[in-house]
Amino acid sequence: MLRNLTYIFIILFILPAAALAEPDFYKVTALPGDGIYSILRRYELDKHSCNFQQFYDLNKLNKKSHLLAGRTYYIPILIYAFNGKTIRSSIGINEWDLAVRIQKYNERMLERELREASFKKDKVLWVPFHEINCPGQDLKIPSPISASPEADLSAGSGNRKFPIFGAKYAHTPLQSNKLKGKVFYVVSGHGGPDPGAMGKRGNYTLCEDEYAYDVALRFCRNLVAHGATAYMINRDKNDGIRNDKFLDCDYDELLWGDIRMMRQQKARLFQRSNVINELYEKNKLAGVTNQTTIIIHVDSRSKGERKDVFFYYHPSSGDSKSLAYKLHKAMKRKYKQHRKNGSYHGTVSSRDLHMLRETKPTSVYIELANIKNTFDQQRIILESNRQALADWLFEGLLD
């Protein structure tokens, strides 16, 4: 018995303190639109494959899993008690350089307000999992920023070319700086494997994604012409702004960053909301305080039902509601000026749609017409009408 007690005494007093207890992992709540890549990138954990594997293991997920907004997840950050002396003695390491990296990491997390207090104050030390287990970077996650985005306003007002608008409209002179410092994410509905709603006019098929994309391009061009930073989230390198009545249906649209769209609708929606949220976080860190998402669709109803332009906002967002009513007011004013009888029956209502719910910037969802109604089709097949829609929506933002 005495021998056993002596053995226990030796174990307790010879082993370093760090060996007595396994550290916990830090837990975070997923934000709307968070994906595994974006949440690890936020905490600077995305360059090490072991962090991804550890995230899957900790949360019992697989590589195709989606995160649920509001749910808590473990991330690969080890939590140690800081002893008030040194980082090395707190976690049982000898390497000076490693301790310095850990200290700087904690300081960066504090600067970004991901930590609430300094580790020296709350005595809680964050240690990235990879620093202990796989310090060498082995992943290069591509940024969603493309090489020549329409958001790049570095060119002077006399040499501003944005290829996404097509050869005829690529040159976009700077008309004003009314929107300088503001960021917009312009999302046209559907695209890639999904043409969206479809209508018939004579022998032609009208695909929602093509007409929504053309109006979105024109609207985006208005934004950059007045100093905004604007991102076309859906992108077709072959289809710039087009003046034809009948726009060919194709399936080659990609997402910002040349990301191929998934076939499954839910996965595809998460793809685009994740892209927007990653750009939002990057712009937020750069000091941008005003960011907005504009989502443009063409509706599908029964052939006999006419629909003026109408708007959705998210029910829990006052800013989303305010923006929707602002655009609606501008549209009502323009219809009064340009429609013979001055009538306008477009509506504003709340709806819990993915792109309103899962994107971080203030957002509004716009339906331009009923693609199956003969009279509504005039609103989107005529080039002058598509330009008018883009101009009127733009004016609503300026009000």
Domains and CATH numbers, the chain: 2-133 (no CATH), 163-398 (3.40.630.40)
Q: Mean of the pLDDT values across residues 167-173?
A: 92
Are the C-beta atoms of 48 and 137 separated by less than 8 Å?
A: yes
Query: Tell me, what DSSP letter sits at residue 305?
Result: -
Confidence of residue 1 (pLDDT cuts 50, 70, 90): very low
Q: Which residues pair with 26 in a beta bridge?
A: 75
User: How far is 197 from 103, CA to CA, in rounded Å?
Assistant: 54
Q: Is the pLDDT of residue 286 over 90?
A: no
User: How far is 66 from 349, CA to CA, in rounded Å?
Assistant: 29
User: How far is 17 from 85, CA to CA, in rounded Å?
Assistant: 14
Quickly tell me which residue has 């293991």 as its tokens. 57
Tokens matching residue 395: 């004016």
Cα-Cα end-to-end distance for the chain: 86
Q: Is the pLDDT of residue 347 over 90?
A: yes
Query: Tell me, what DSSP letter sits at residue 46?
Result: T
pLDDT of residue 342: 85
Confidence of residue 283 (pLDDT cuts 50, 70, 90): confident
User: How far is 234 from 216, CA to CA, in rounded Å?
Assistant: 9
pLDDT of residue 50: 93
What DSSP string runs through 267-298? HHHHHHHHHHHHHHHHHHHTT---EEEEEEEE
User: How far is 189 from 299, CA to CA, in rounded Å?
Assistant: 10
Q: Are strands 291-299 and 183-188 parallel, antiparallel or unpaired?
A: parallel
Tokens matching residue 40: 């690890």
Angle formed by the axes of helices 383-398 and 318-338, nearest 10°: 130
Q: Mean of the pLDDT values across residues 274-283?
A: 90
Which stretches of 74-180 are DSSP H helices?
Answer: 87-91, 96-111, 119-122, 129-133
Confidence of residue 140 (pLDDT cuts 50, 70, 90): low
